[in-house]
A and B are shown apart, each in its own frame.
Chain A
């Protein structure tokens, strides 16, 4: 029983990381209509920046986390400004391919800067398991739960109570009308990328702690897609729930099938995804758009 509970808690914790990354993805999709295949690259970059600041530069870990978030935010703004600004109004598939170009570029940059061997972040947490609801799990999983909770809470508040947050939601509603009341759609797009990059960096730090910091962390962006699809592409609560379901299913799959199908946890999300796509093509919370010719 306690074993199952343990798996459940770890699954939820892993799922919380998925939710964080999925959140960034949904943000960009909702606000700008861009299906960002480079979300994982942002995560990977975030993890490496944290590694760079804490190990290479040698800053205290908590300082480097905060700096990482700042840098990630700036990188998001920069990417939007340099690569996506010109594409506003172009077809969604063309923009999607731009994000593919970004993915390739960022992977190249990471490889050039840090090489193929993975690095590890400083061990800022004890390796002693702690007890959550009767399950013994590593502290990092507790941390990821807390981080996800904080992030989602901050975002809910941000979008309710700040004028830029309200402006972003207004833009998601209708870009032209948002312009008519004086909201700069470009700034909203930039903000969306910046925030998505920031959430990705949070995810990157956590994943980098659980695994290690390597160039293939960028594949995490693809692993999150099932969560996003499950939740419906444009739903923030959907991202949360989708991420957690994904984490739990994946973890149980790894625990119970992993012994004779090695590495199965890496494809479980995709198998679920294919099945899902055939059953509920537009996600649980997704909208089916009415189309006209």
Chain B
């Protein structure tokens, strides 16, 4: 469904952030994208959704294909109507709008279809809690509720591809679990694909079919999620377990070792 081909991304024409990244998201699958802070995960998602432009970023090389069509030079709103929805990092609700209005804004690309109410009901079936809050101004919702709202808002466009950026950030484990369950249900029931960026590697890999690990603007490792779970490097750096099964601090790991192994 989505194919990213060896892309390079520059900010402000000088800062090279992605250096030849390739990635595939097959139909009806969840792909997890892991990696350290500043690795370029968000940048990759923005390159796919087209939001780079507002930050003076540009895809300078390579191509992005969605459903067989190149999309790297079309406007973000067109990509949304093609079926790509990005849920941005940091629970970006429209603060001054109510929950209902947020959902309506999410439905904007399909405003010509009279499906607003049915879609809203569909969304409420995933997030029943939002139904009670629908007249509230979204800026005052709790963090978990806001996260649900932004996912729900993206769902209103009935996307074929979800780009989820760190949905677990700053949330209690139980809510994270709830959200991940919903993501999985969305995949199964809507037949959508999900590209999931996460710091919480265990949770992400447990629902994902496939995983990629990104460092410094490059994909350094990829494979089926179950294999990645067992990979000693991933275990060590993302799951925080050493080969002996002990907890280990990230800072104790020698840098060159990581470098060497992953840049084979």
Residues of A within 8 A of B (CB): 89, 163-164, 166-167, 169-170, 172-184
Contact = CB atoms under 8 A, between A and B. Distances in A.
Nearest to A164: B111
A10 B87 CA distance: 52
A184 B77 contact: yes
Contacts of A172: 96
Given A166-B97, A173-B97, A182 B88 contact: no
Contact of B97 (A163, A169, A184): A169
Contacts of B81: 182
B222 interface: no
A178 B86 CA distance: 11
A181 B106 contact: yes
B104 A166 contact: yes
Nearest to B92: A177
B117 interface: no
A182 B96 contact: no
A179 B76 contact: yes
> Which residue among A178, A181, A184 has the maximum number of chain B CB atoms within 10 Å of its CB?
A181
A53 B111 CA distance: 35
Interface in B86-103: 86-88, 92, 94-97, 101-102
Contact of A166 (B55, B76, B101): B101
B76 A169 contact: no
> Which residue among A169, A175, A176, A180 has the maximum number of chain B CB atoms within 10 Å of its CB?
A180
Given A163-B107, A163-B111, A167-B108, A181 B101 contact: no
Contact of B109 (A164, A176, A182): A182
A290 to B, nearest CB: 15
Contact of B105 (A89, A175, A183): A183
> Which residue among A172, A178, A179, A184 has the maximum number of chain B CB atoms within 10 Å of its CB?
A179
A174 B90 CA distance: 13
Q: Which 5 A-B pairs have the closest CB atoms?
A: A182-B80, A182-B109, A163-B111, A173-B94, A170-B105
Interface string B162-202: 00000000000000000000000000000000000000000
A176 B50 CA distance: 10
B153 interface: yes
28 contacts: A89-B54, A163-B104, A163-B107, A163-B108, A163-B111, A164-B111, A166-B101, A167-B105, A167-B108, A169-B96, A170-B97, A170-B102, A173-B97, A174-B92, A174-B95, A176-B54, A176-B55, A176-B88, A176-B92, A177-B88, A177-B92, A179-B54, A179-B76, A180-B85, A181-B105, A181-B157, A182-B80, A182-B109
B51 interface: yes
B107 A170 contact: no
A163 B75 CA distance: 20
B108 A182 contact: yes
A170 B106 CA distance: 10
Contacts of B51: 176, 179-180
A177 B96 CA distance: 13
A181 B51 CA distance: 10
Contact of A177 (B55, B94, B109): B94
Contacts of A182: 76-77, 80-81, 85, 108-109, 157
A167 B106 CA distance: 9
Contacts of B96: 169, 172-173
Nearest to B87: A180
Contact of A180 (B75, B88, B101, B102): B88
Contacts of A163: 104, 107-108, 111
> Which residue among B75, B85, B101, B109 has the maximum number of chain A CB atoms within 10 Å of its CB?
B101
A264 B169 CA distance: 60
